[in-house]
Structure 1
Amino acid sequence: MRYESQLLDAVESCPVPNDDQGWHGQSLAQKEQLSVLIVEDDDFDFHIIKRFMLEAKGYSAKIDRASSLAKAKLAATHRRYDVVLIDFCLGDDTGVLAMSAFGGRQSDCVMILITGMLAPDIQKISLKAGAVSCIDKEQLNSKMLEATITTALHNHRLEQELHRAIFDLEEATRAKNAFYANMSHDLKTPLNAIMGYAEIISSNCLNLPVPDQYRDYANLIRSGGLHLLEVINNLVLSASDKINSVGGPFEQANLNLLVDKALELVLILAQNKSINVDLSPSNEAIPVYCQPSLITQAIVNILSNAIKYTPDGGHIAVRVHSCGETHCVSIEDSGIGMSQDDIKIAKAPFGRCKLPPELSQEGTGLGLSIVDRIAVSHQGGVLIESQPGVGTKVTLKLPAIQ
Structure 2
Amino acid sequence: MGDDGQVREEGLGREGSRSGVLPPMPSLTAGFGAGLAQRLHTALWVFDIDLSRVVWANAAALDVWRAESIEALYARDLSADMSPGVAARLRQYQEDFIAGDAVFSEVWTLYPQGRPRALRCRFSGVRLADNRMAMLCEGLADYNDTPEALRSTDALLHSTVMITLYDLGGHILYSNPAARAAALPLPADGTAPLLDRLMDHADHRRLVTDLAQSDEARLVARVRTAAGARWHEITARTCRDAATGAPAWLVSEVDVTESVEYQTQLEATRTKLEAQARELRELHHAAESANRAKSQFLAHMSHELRTPLNAIIGFSDVTRRGTFGAVQPVRYGDYAELIHESGRLLLDLINDILDISKIEAGKMELRPIEIDAQELAETSTRLISGMARENSVTLLTDIGPDLRPVYGDARAIKQIIINLLSNAVKFTPAGGKVKLAIEDRPEGSAVIVSDTGIGMNDEEIARALDPFSQIDSSIAQQHRGTGLGLALVKNLVELHGGQLIVTSRPHHGTDVAAVFPVSPA
* TM-score normalised by L of structure 2: 0.37
Higher-Rg member (1/2): 2
* TM-score normalised by L of structure 1: 0.46
Larger helix percent: 1
